Structure 1
Amino acid sequence: MGLDMYAMITEEELPQSVDFKKPIDAVELHYWRKHPDLHGWMEGLYSGKGGNGSFNLDPVVLTNADIDQLGTAIERNELPQTDGYFFGQSLGDEFADDLAFIAKARKAIADGYTVYYDSWW
């Protein structure tokens, strides 16, 4: 058991930015395992967009502006320290992988896809 984290893409235009029914055409764009600090950042985004679930299997859409803010937080080492029962810990070696995700997300959005984050713990 543990924190599994996914960035997904879909061609569907989603009806809202949080707590939507997951599209059947969704494809995995990126995967992380037990990177709780990134998850904590995503949880803040989810709450800021009006999400009120447990943030376990509760998705949140990532816009260009969100990706820019996340990229800045990663580059400045400002992801919030986050703990959870099954989360493990961010090790500090995720920087290159996180930036690779940022590049893939920007390209997917530019190509007309909707990008969203989902997790399961």
Structure 2
Amino acid sequence: MGLDMYAMVTDEQFDSEVDFKPERPTELHYWRKHPNLHGWMEQLYFDKGGSSDSFNCVCVALTEADLDRLEADIKEAGLPETCGFFFGASDGTETEDDLAFVAKARERVKNGYTVFYDSWW
């Protein structure tokens, strides 16, 4: 048990940047128990109008602007301190992997794909 986190990609386009249901997603990146990144994504989800009572098993799309902001927050150690049952702890060693994700995601978005975050805990 624990926090499993996924960046997914699809060629599908959606009317909303939250709470959509892709039919053909493929995995772009995976994290295990990185709660501070999860907290950042949760805030993004609600900022974009997400309505789920729990930020679990819901999708939030990542735009170029979102990726720019995420990259800046990663570099500035600005991901929000986040905790949860079975979430584990972020310890700062994730930075290189997080930046590698941003680079991959940025390339896919540039090529017209929808990149989104989803999690399960």
Same fold (TM over 0.5): yes
Alpha-carbon distance in structure 2 between the residues aligned to 1:31 and 1:82: 18
Deviation at 1:110, TM superposition (A): 1.1
Partner of 1:62: 62
Aligned to 2:70, what secondary structure does the other structure show? helix
Deviation at 1:97, TM superposition (A): 0.1
Deviation at 1:20, TM superposition (A): 1.1
Aligned to 2:2, what secondary structure does the other structure show? coil
Partner of 1:29: 28
- 1:14 paired to 2:3: no
Q: TM-score, normalised by structure 1?
A: 0.97
Alpha-carbon distance in structure 1 between the residues aligned to 2:82 and 2:25: 27
Number of aligned residue pairs: give it: 120
Deviation at 1:15, TM superposition (A): 2.1
- 1:86 paired to 2:60: no
Alpha-carbon distance in structure 1 between the residues aligned to 2:107 and 2:16: 22
Alpha-carbon distance in structure 1 between the residues aligned to 2:87 and 2:14: 28
Moved over 3 A (4+): none
Alpha-carbon distance in structure 1 between the residues aligned to 2:79 and 2:58: 20
Q: Name structure 2 gaps, 5 residues minimum.
A: none
Deviation at 1:69, TM superposition (A): 0.3
Matches within 5 A, 1:102-113: 102-113=102-113
Alpha-carbon distance in structure 1 between the residues aligned to 2:51 and 2:105: 25
Partner of 1:47: 46
Alpha-carbon distance in structure 2 between the residues aligned to 1:120 and 1:14: 21
Aligned to 1:13, what secondary structure does the other structure show? coil
The share of aligned pairs that are identical, in percent, is 62
Amino acid at match of 2:64: N
Aligned to 1:50, what secondary structure does the other structure show? coil
